[in-house]
Amino acid sequence: MRLSIRFAVFVLALAGPSLLAQRNVPVPASCTPQVNQRLAEIIASQTRRDIDNVMVCGIATQKTRLQAGGRHGDHHITSIAVQLPGSQTVNVQVVTNDDLDGVVTARANDPVFAYGQAYVSHGPWAAGIHDVHCSTHAGADNGWVVVAGVKTPQSCPSR
């Protein structure tokens, strides 16, 4: 029994970093309601928790706006119209952190894809996606945002 436990600890020590490694998830070829399926489930659940590794796509409804200052620095917020499965369309905000993502902006009608941490919102947005940058915590894949075909970040360092 002791030998089995020691072997298991040895294997976990060797494999541990790869078990926690963040994945690089590809950008879909096109924006379809199925891309937004997981977000639709999160919105329907009305959870109060942030959920890692969620993808969204849609069309910017207006130009990106700046949210200056705050505890985590400047952010840019892009509102997008997102078509969910079942033909429902909702507004979602994609939030980028200037320090972690660089300045990411969109113009009205730009196509937008994002992958990061989802949260259920209130007011004019049904939900939001933030943490769209290289992973900063365990369990989160490397995030990204694509505006009009330009991906940010272009890549993330290996850990």
- pLDDT recorded at residue 159: 58
Tallying the residues shown for the chain, one arrives at 159
End-to-end CA distance of the chain: 33
Q: Which two tokens stand for residue 42?
A: 């999160």
- Is residue 17 pLDDT above 60, yes or no? no
- Is residue 2 pLDDT above 70, yes or no? no
15 compared with 38, residue with greater pLDDT? 38
- Is residue 106 pLDDT above 80, yes or no? yes
Q: Which two tokens stand for residue 105?
A: 């902006």
Least Cα distance to 144 among 131, 132, 158, 157 occurs for 132
Residues paired with 145 in a beta bridge: 114, 152
18 compared with 45, residue with greater pLDDT? 45
Name the percent of the chain lying above pLDDT 90.
72
* Calpha distance 30→146 (Å, rounded): 12
When the pLDDT of each residue in the chain is averaged and rounded to a whole number, the result is: 87
Q: What are the tens digits of pLDDT across the range 46-104?
A: 999 999 999 999 999 999 999 988 787 899 999 999 999 998 999 999 999 999 888 99
Please give the torsion angle defined by the CA atoms of residues 105, 115, 95 and 29, in that order, rounded to the nearest 10 degrees: 30
CATH of 21-152, one of 1.20.1440, 2.30.30, 2.40.50, 2.60.40: 2.40.50
- pLDDT recorded at residue 21: 54
